[in-house]
């Protein structure tokens, strides 16, 4: 310790790295259950041929409206088709539509929000006011109007759903980016001489990403719900495709013939939405404690 | 003249001419103006350390950022190594930024929390020297870590794993990555523990000698500025009120505000306590006082000229300028007012 | 300044009565894996009425947790593991939450560093002071308002009748802190704790607020605990000083003794490493090597030994004994200037 000039900082230990996001997530019981449920849903719907011996479209006219049994876990429908199998295959459609819509919502919303954050003048204000106006209209109502206008093919449905959720994503993306723009490390990056695009891409965006990912999970939940609602009133997925919403609708119209028919689609929708919401909430808490 | 050519000897490294920065918070028509920096002129010679002292609201941090064009001026010029900073094109500015760097106050906020120390320090290299391969960058980072007194193991750490002092060293390493000639230290040791402050100040001095750096040292701590600076400028409400070589400023200040600042510093432990200068507290309003900005708080400020005329910077000795109608020595201030 | 507006305590204690007595205070933080951390490992001190005590330490010393533990506002997972805290003979650690709530403000008050965290930006400060008064006294609103105005005057806010209707953002930082102090003393606590209360303020403002606190403490015969990292401030203001390091008081004594003749190597090294107005700019500062220890990795024996120039072999293996000598209390195997 006899250095004349003390400049070295080395000797003190460095704090240990804190545990990974995944581990922290799995520690909360609700999050752990949510993750497991979502995984089960995904595996079962996409692994439908392996899970169920039945085909979704084959009728068994001896077993119309059969109640749940070991042969038919969820019973059968009005044409004797196994409901469980139809839910699995229908789930594929629901999930694919929801995921695709979420991707569109994220891409459009993030771009929208980032532009608004950078152009803080009247351009940014205008973009946000448009977002506000769109958000003021109830989602399902707006969805109905758009579907009535543009038709309900699979792709138009995906695009419409994506655009429905874009404004809220834009607001979030903008406020997240604004926080990063006000931070000192951003000014540091500018002082180093980095160009604007490089800074956004390499410094700001990765920091904004976790919050956006957490929100994606919530959007996914809402997408499933809205698709189901639209399909329920006949303006969503069209036959011969099935989704959870169409199955719910069919079950509803046959309510007096089979109590269990609408129960299971409704239950599956409920579980999926709950799980994704729980996952999104917990992800938000874990990834960005300042927002929880 | 390109940015890499040597500056003609005799020309200051940084020259600031009537620099002004006004903010208009709130609605445009409300007319509220915050004159954060209001007509500041100074020059910084190569190899020196200019200390910029002031309290909150003095505009010192705004001035520091303006020098690096991290903010938009309302008026005025900054000439760095012979080049007009505000008139530079985007590309020219990028080149200039290699030579002038800044270290901020908050050790954690100025580092990207998602990047490792290695990534943070090599960022300037990635931006300006894309031809360097990863190995070359790693070597340079290694050099820099050693230069600032960190260990090689720190390269893989994240800012949250490091202490405040260690983070400031990372900031300094990053600032030095491209061999700058001018470094602005904006309250760089204010947020660090007292015992670490000494380490960092020693480090800064050593680096200055070794790398022939020029510093602008912004701080509110008079003792630190006395230690670090060769020349000191005192700022008040956007203006420089006194500028002098360090020894002159501390031994023979002339501006009443400087007297008040010096008197307010708690005396070194173990020495006799002194009566503080009674200074009216600043009001939180945006309207600048008429005449001399300091007059409402000045023990001499009741004189009519102080209330009507804004004093310009006038010579008060070799290299010493004061903006005051009645510059005073400590003794004469005491005699005039019974305080000090 | 009017004594009549402040309620006199039911019994009139003499200056010099012990107001707060802390014995063997230990604080623990529960962590998920492993043994709890121990940021405070057994400290004892007392505060008399009219008496000013300073606790000086850097980050990680445990000083802020000490303050919070006295008024029992520790965050989750942090708790008092051992020790007694007696306020005028009454044990605080065993009180119910309800009883403790009446002690806060009435017996013990705490003022923090950031006034904005104690003030509601949406209410006038007059309203907030009145609320503080009404929490502890059953008086009518008009009476409370009158008292609030007097309190504001007492803490040095000019034109208090008018300014009571202003909102916090219309005040400068120093003024806000005065308001917070007014709220803290409105119920005449026995002891006022100031945790870095002036750290964020300008040095001139700090000087004035410390003067005001000194006057208030004397007029109301309150005990005061000043928690700070600023040795100079503690020296100028406090009667007694405790130097805190890694959760223990390494040296305690009168301000003059500790700062004029430090016995513990940390106190001495800290004094040497502080940049003062009289520090010689020509040579490096005598900085303390290394950094304050991490709670997770406290060194064995004396926690200061890795950074201590006087460390002996025994310092690494054994915790130092507590020694009392000539009015100073310290813990060291190899103290300065004391015959071993």
Residue C12: the pLDDT is: 44
Q: What tokens does B92 get?
A: 């020219």
Nearest CA in chain C to B193: C58
CB B153 within 8 A of CB B68: no
Q: Helices A260-287 and A244-253: crossing angle, nearest 10°?
A: 150
Residue C10: the pLDDT is: 37
Average pLDDT of chain B, as a whole number:
87
Task: Render B104-147 in DSSP notation, one character per residue.
Answer: -S-TTTTS-TTS-HHHHHHHHHHHH-TTS-HHHHHHHHHHHHHH
**Alpha-carbon distances, residue C340 vs A193, C157, C263, C334 (angstroms):** 59, 53, 12, 7
**Torsion sign over Cα C64, C66, C70, C76:** positive
List the one residue out of A7, C272, C281, C274 whose CA is nearest residue B168.
Answer: A7
Choose the closest CB to A198 out of B93, B98, B127: B127
Residue A8: the pLDDT is: 47
In chain B, what residues touch C235 (CB-CB under 8 Å)? 266-267, 269-270
ω into A240 cis (within 30 of 0): yes
E strands in chain C: 18-29, 37-48, 52-56, 78-87, 90-91, 108-111, 191-195, 223-228, 240-245, 248-254, 322-325, 328-331
- Find which of B269, B270, B287 to mutate to test the C interface (most C CBs within 10 Å of its CB): B269
Residue A3: the pLDDT is: 31
* Burial environment of residue A61 by CB neighbours within 10 A (0 to 12, 13 to 18, 19 or more): exposed
Q: What are phi and psi of A123, to 5 degrees?
A: -65, -50
Residue C260: the pLDDT is: 86
Ordered by start, the domain boundaries in chain A are: 23-53+69-291
Choose the closest CB to C270 out of B194, B220, B224: B194
Query: Given the structure tokens 């006799």, which residue do they identify?
Result: B272
In chain B, what residues touch A7 (CB-CB under 8 Å)? 149, 199, 202-203, 206
* B195:C269 CB<8 A: yes
The CATH number of A23-53+69-291 is 1.10.3720.10
* A8:C289 CB<8 A: yes
Q: Where are the alpha helices (DSSP H) in chain B?
A: 60-67, 90-99, 117-128, 134-147, 164-176, 194-211, 222-228, 246-251, 256-264, 304-308, 330-337
H helix or E strand, kind and range, residue A196: helix A196-198
Q: Stretch B24-37: mean pLDDT, rounded?
A: 75
First to last CA, chain C: 51
Residue B272: the pLDDT is: 59
Q: What tokens does A92 get?
A: 């594929």
**Alpha-carbon distances, residue A279 vs A25, A109, A117, C211, C284 (angstroms):** 9, 21, 28, 55, 55
CB A90 within 8 A of CB A77: no
Considering the entire predicted model, what is its pTM? 0.84
Q: What are phi and psi of C26, to 5 degrees?
A: -130, 135
Residue-wise pLDDT tens digits, A32-56 = 899 999 999 999 988 888 888 888 8
Q: With an 8 Å Cβ cutoff, is C288 touching chain B? A: yes
List the one residue out of B81, B90, B4, B78 whose CA is nearest residue B37.
Answer: B78
Residue A70: the pLDDT is: 82
**Alpha-carbon distances, residue B70 vs A188, A201, A208, C198 (angstroms):** 9, 20, 23, 30
Q: How far apart are CA C253 and CA C241, in angstroms?
A: 6
H helix or E strand, kind and range, residue C102: helix C97-103
Q: What is the ipTM of this complex?
A: 0.82
Q: Which are the contacts of A240, defined by CB distance < 8 A and separation ≥ 6? A: A57
Q: What tokens does C138 get?
A: 């059953």
List the one residue out of C310, A11, C232 whose CA is nearest residue B194.
Answer: C232
Q: How far apart are CA C44 and CA B290, in angstroms?
A: 54
Could you tell me the pLDDT band of residue B285, with boundaries at 50, 70 and 90?
low
Query: Given the structure tokens 């532009």, which residue do they identify?
Result: A115
* A3:C286 CB<8 A: no
* Residue C166: alpha-carbon gap to chain centroid: 29
Nearest CA in chain C to A2: C309
* C275:B265 CB<8 A: no
Q: Which are the contacts of A242, defined by CB distance < 8 A and separation ≥ 6? A: A56, A86, A89, A90, A93
- Find which of A17, A191, A207, A208 to mutate to test the B interface (most B CBs within 10 Å of its CB): A191
List the one residue out of C97, A98, A10 whose CA is nearest residue B155.
Answer: A10
Residue C5: the pLDDT is: 35
Q: What tokens does B6 get?
A: 């040597």
Q: What are phi and psi of C240, to 5 degrees?
A: -120, 150
Q: How far apart are CA B241 and CA C63, in angstroms?
A: 39
Which residues of chain C are modeled with pLDDT < 50? Answer: 1-13, 340
Range from A105-109, A152-156, B238-242 carrying the lowest mean pLDDT:
A152-156
Q: Stretch A68-95: mean pLDDT, rounded?
A: 86
CB C257 within 8 A of CB B270: no
CB A109 within 8 A of CB A165: yes
Residue B296: the pLDDT is: 85
Q: Which are the contacts of C44, defined by CB distance < 8 A and separation ≥ 6? A: C22, C23, C24, C25, C249
Residue C11: the pLDDT is: 40
Give the HSE-up count for residue C101: Cα atoms under 13 Å, Cβ half-sphere.
6
E strands in B13-109: 14-23, 34-44, 49-53, 75-80, 83-84, 100-103
Percent of chain C whose predicted confidence (pLDDT) is above 90: 60
Range from A10-14, A148-152, C225-229 carrying the lowest mean pLDDT:
A10-14
Bridge pairing between strands C240-245 and C191-195 = unpaired
Q: Which are the contacts of C270, defined by CB distance < 8 A and separation ≥ 6? A: B194, B195, C231, C243, C288
Q: How far is B170 from chain A (nearest CA, A)?
A: 11
Q: How far apart are CA A204 and CA B219, in angstroms?
A: 29
CB A64 within 8 A of CB A55: no
In chain B, what residues touch C273 (CB-CB under 8 Å)? 194-195, 197-198
List the one residue out of C93, C87, C1 whose CA is nearest residue C46.
Answer: C87
Q: How far apart are CA A113 and CA A167, in angstroms?
A: 8
Average pLDDT of chain A, as a whole number:
84
Residue C1: the pLDDT is: 36
CB B86 within 8 A of CB B77: yes
Could you tell me the pLDDT band of residue A144, with boundaries at 50, 70 and 90?
confident
Query: In this complex, which chains have at least 3 CB pairs below 8 Å with chain B?
Result: A, C
Nearest CA in chain A to C308: A1
What structural domains and CATH numbers belong to chain B? 14-251 (3.40.50.300), 253-267+288-340 (no CATH)
In chain C, what residues touch A26 (CB-CB under 8 Å)? none
* C172:B284 CB<8 A: yes
Q: What are phi and psi of C55, to 5 degrees?
A: -115, 115
Residue C113: the pLDDT is: 87
First to last CA, chain B: 51
Residue A289: the pLDDT is: 58
Residue B295: the pLDDT is: 86
């Amino acid at each position: 310790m006899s250095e004349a000039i003390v400049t070295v900082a080395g000797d003190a230990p460095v704090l240990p790295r804190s545990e990974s996001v995944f581990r922290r997530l799995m520690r909360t019981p609700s999050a752990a259950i949510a993750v497991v449920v979502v995984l089960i849903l995904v595996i079962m719907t996409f692994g439908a041929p392996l899970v169920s011996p039945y085909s979704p479209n084959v009728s068994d006219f001896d077993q119309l409206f059969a109640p749940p049994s070991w042969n038919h876990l969820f019973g059968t429908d009005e044409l004797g088709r196994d409901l469980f199998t139809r839910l699995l295959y229908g789930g594929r459609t629901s999930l694919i539509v929801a995921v695709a819509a979420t991707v569109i919502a994220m891409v459009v919303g993030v771009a929208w929000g980032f532009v608004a954050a950078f152009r803080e003048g009247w351009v940014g204000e205008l973009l946000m006011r448009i977002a506000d106006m769109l958000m003021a209209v109830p989602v399902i109502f707006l969805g109905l109007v758009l579907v009535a206008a543009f038709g309900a093919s699979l792709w138009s449905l995906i695009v419409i759903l994506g655009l429905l959720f874009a404004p809220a994503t834009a607001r979030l993306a903008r406020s997240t980016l604004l926080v990063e723009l006000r931070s000192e490390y951003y000014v540091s990056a500018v002082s180093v001489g980095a160009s604007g695009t490089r800074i956004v891409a390499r410094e700001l965006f990765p920091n904004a990403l976790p919050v956006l990912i957490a929100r994606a999970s919530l959007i996914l939940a809402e997408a499933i719900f809205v698709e189901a609602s639209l399909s329920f009133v006949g303006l969503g997925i069209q036959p011969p495709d099935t989704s959870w919403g169409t199955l719910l609708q069919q079950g509803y119209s046959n309510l007096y013939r089979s109590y269990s028919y609408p129960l299971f689609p409704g239950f599956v929708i409920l579980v999926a939405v709950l799980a994704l919401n729980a996952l999104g909430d917990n992800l938000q808490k874990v990834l960005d404690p300042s927002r929880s | 003249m390109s940015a890499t050519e040597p500056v003609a000897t005799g020309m200051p490294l940084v020259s600031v001419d009537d620099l002004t920065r006004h903010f208009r918070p709130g609605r445009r028509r409300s007319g509220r103006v915050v004159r954060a920096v209001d007509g500041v002129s100074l020059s910084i010679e190569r190899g020196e350390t200019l200390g910029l002292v002031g309290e909150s609201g003095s505009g010192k941090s705004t001035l520091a950022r303006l020098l690096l064009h991290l903010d938009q001026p309302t008026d005025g010029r900054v000439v760095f190594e012979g080049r007009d900073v505000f008139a530079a094109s985007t590309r020219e500015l990028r080149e200039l930024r290699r030579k002038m760097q800044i270290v901020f106050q908050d050790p954690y906020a100025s580092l990207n929390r998602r990047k490792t120390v290695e990534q943070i320090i090599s960022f300037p290299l990635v931006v300006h020297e894309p031809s360097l391969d990863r190995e070359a960058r790693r070597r340079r980072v290694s050099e820099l870590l050693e230069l600032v007194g960190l260990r090689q193991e720190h390269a893989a750490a994240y800012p949250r794993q490091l202490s405040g002092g260690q983070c400031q060293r990372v900031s300094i390493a990053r600032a030095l990555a491209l061999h700058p000639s001018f470094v602005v230290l904006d309250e760089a040791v204010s947020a660090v523990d007292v015992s670490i402050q000494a380490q960092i100040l020693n480090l800064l001095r050593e680096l200055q000698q070794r790398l022939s750096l020029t510093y602008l040292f912004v701080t509110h701590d008079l003792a630190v500025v006395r230690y670090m600076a060769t020349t000191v400028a005192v700022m008040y409400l956007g203006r420089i009120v006194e500028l002098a070589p360090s020894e002159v400023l501390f031994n023979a200040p002339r501006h009443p505000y400087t007297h008040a600042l010096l008197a307010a510093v708690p005396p070194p432990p173990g020495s006799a306590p002194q009566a503080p200068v009674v200074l009216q507290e600043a009001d939180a309003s945006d309207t600048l006082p008429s005449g001399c900005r300091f007059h409402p708080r000045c023990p001499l400020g009741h004189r009519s000229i102080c209330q009507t005329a804004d004093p310009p910077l006038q010579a008060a000795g070799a290299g010493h300028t004061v903006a005051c109608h009645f510059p005073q020595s400590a003794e004469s201030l005491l005699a005039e007012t019974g305080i000090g | 300044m009017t004594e009549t507006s402040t309620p006199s305590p039911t019994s009139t204690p003499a200056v010099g009565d012990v107001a707060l007595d802390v014995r063997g205070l230990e604080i623990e933080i529960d962590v998920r894996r492993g043994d709890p951390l121990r940021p405070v490992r057994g400290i004892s001190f007392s505060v008399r009425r009219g008496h000013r005590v300073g606790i000086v330490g850097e980050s990680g010393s445990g000083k802020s947790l000490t303050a919070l533990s006295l008024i029992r506002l520790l965050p989750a997972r942090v708790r008092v593991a051992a020790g007694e805290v007696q306020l005028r003979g009454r044990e605080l650690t065993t009180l119910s939450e309800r009883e403790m709530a009446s002690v806060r403000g009435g017996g013990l008050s705490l003022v923090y560093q950031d006034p904005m965290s104690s003030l509601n930006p949406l209410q006038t400060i007059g309203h907030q002071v009145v609320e503080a008064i009404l929490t502890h006294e059953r008086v009518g609103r008009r009476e409370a308002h009158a008292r609030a105005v007097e309190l504001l005057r007492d803490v040095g806010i000019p034109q208090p009748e008018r300014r009571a209707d202003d909102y916090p953002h219309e005040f400068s930082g120093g003024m806000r802190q005065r308001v917070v102090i007014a709220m803290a003393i409105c119920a005449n606590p026995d002891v006022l704790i100031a945790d870095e209360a002036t750290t964020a303020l300008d040095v001139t403002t700090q000087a004035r607020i410390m003067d005001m606190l000194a006057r208030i403490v004397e007029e109301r015969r309150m005990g005061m605990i000043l928690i700070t990292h600023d040795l100079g401030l503690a020296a100028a203001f406090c009667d007694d000083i405790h130097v805190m390091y890694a959760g223990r008081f390494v040296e305690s004594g009168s301000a003059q003794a500790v700062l004029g003749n430090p016995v513990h190597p940390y106190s001495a090294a800290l004094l040497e490493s502080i940049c003062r107005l009289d520090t010689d700019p020509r040579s490096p500062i005598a900085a303390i090597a290394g950094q304050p220890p991490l709670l997770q990795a406290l060194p064995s024996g004396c926690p200061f030994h890795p950074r201590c120039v006087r460390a002996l072999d025994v310092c690494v293996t054994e915790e130092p004994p507590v020694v009392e000598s000539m009015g100073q209390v310290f813990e060291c195997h190899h103290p300065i200037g004391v015959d071993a």
